[in-house]
Amino acid sequence: MERIAIPSNNPGGLTAGMSDHFGHADYYTLVDVENGEIKKFDIISNVSHQEGGCMVPVNLLASHGVNTLIASGMGMRPLLGFKSVGIQVMAGRENPIENVVKSYINGMLFPFDDSNVCGGGGAH
């Protein structure tokens, strides 16, 4: 079983839109995938974090057993944070969330790396 997190706009869930800024998302939709199928999903509220507090969402998702994060943008600090706790980060941007999960299952997303991180500021 793999647990995938997607930053989500209100109200979260498979029919919600994906948030552009993972660290400032309203919610995270957590999707459990097994054998290429969505088995279930949960919605958790994001917690606020101060400037420079990029490990707050990293630790939140790690505490919920997330293996993979799909995000449309991210800075270097949070990317390194996710790598340090064993969460792979994939680049993707589709709506609704169910579609981006299906793209991931079908191998259509690519991993974030140094070449596609955002600059600092509010882009995390």
pLDDT of residue 54: 72
Domain spans in the chain, listed from the N-terminal domain onward? 2-116
Q: Which two tokens stand for residue 33?
A: 């995938």
pTM for the full predicted model: 0.89
pLDDT of residue 39: 98
Residues of the chain with pLDDT under 70: 49-53, 114-124
Residue 102 CA to residue 114 CA, distance in Å, equals 25
Burial degree of 42 (CB within 10 A; 0-12, 13-18, 19+): middle
CATH class of 2-116: alpha beta
